[in-house]
Amino acid sequence: MSDDPSSSTPADAPTDLVTVERHGDVALLAWDDGKANALGFEAIDALLAALDEVDGNADAVVLAGRPGRFSAGFDLKVMSAGADAAQGMLTRGVDLFLRLYLYPRPVVAACTGHAIAAGSILLMSSDLRIGARGDFKVGLPEVTIGMPLPFFATELARDRISKRHYARVTALGTMYDPDGAADAGFLDEVVDGDVVATAIERAQALTGVSRGGLRRTRETARGAIAASIRAGLADDLSHFSVAEG
């Protein structure tokens, strides 16, 4: 679940990976590891901690990557450290995906560049996805590199990806440029200018969404999907391996 090379609790997550900035009623979560924005234990916990920090005091959230790299996916070093480490990281990753998917306020992703494997799952977990136009790749290439696509990824794709592209996204591992990713359903809008500024602007337009109304709609629209992912997670990950051949 990655294209780039012992778990802590959210309270222990390093603060330098994710910075929180306020733009009026919008909270910007800027994620930058200085490299490829790989989702390892520390990054996952830092993102979860930031989401907890702004829950209840922001009316919308923007999740932004670093220039050129939204996320290269799960940390390959952990993926290669053995089944227990890999499955532990994927389990924690699902905590993050479903936290975004069920978040009580609108979530806008500022896709600042490549969004590969788990990076694309972050996009599918967000409400509105604004992508930077450029020579970037977005998609789920797992089956092309000898890895099965887990159930949590196929179910989120079933909900968020266009039916015209579902087989290409999941079974064929198709990678898209930003405009193609918008057609497929990974992105909602592609911009030439400052993608983070645009995402903040779009989020500001969503701050009036009803809190109670959204919370209930999350449950009716997404609750069953999230519950099925949780219920099947142990079995799902028991079939997962880094290389299936």
Task: List, for residues 99-150, the tens digit of each pLDDT value.
Answer: 999 999 999 999 999 999 999 999 999 999 999 999 999 999 999 998 889 9
Residue 29 has pLDDT above 60, yes or no: yes
What mean pLDDT comes out for the span 31-39?
96
- The structural domains of the chain, with segments of one domain joined by +, span 10-238
pLDDT at 2 over 70: no
Backbone angles phi, psi at 102, to 5 degrees: -110, 10
Averaged pLDDT for residues 72-84: 89
First-to-last C-alpha distance (Å) of the chain: 15
In this prediction, residue 239 carries a pLDDT of: 75
Mean pLDDT of the region 85-109: 96
* Average pLDDT of the residues of the chain: 92
Q: Which residue has the tokens 């500001």?
A: 204
CATH topology of domain 10-238: 2-enoyl-CoA Hydratase; Chain A, domain 1 (3.90.226)
Q: Is the pLDDT of residue 187 over 80?
A: yes
At residue 8, the pLDDT reads: 34
Task: Give me the helices (H) in 83-210, please.
Answer: 83-101, 118-125, 151-160, 166-170, 178-184, 195-204
pTM of the predicted protein model: 0.92
pLDDT at 7: 32
Is residue 27 over pLDDT 50?
A: yes
pLDDT computed for residue 204 by the predictor: 98
Counts of helices then strands in the chain (DSSP H, E): 10, 12
User: CA angle 223-20-138, nearest 5°?
Assistant: 60
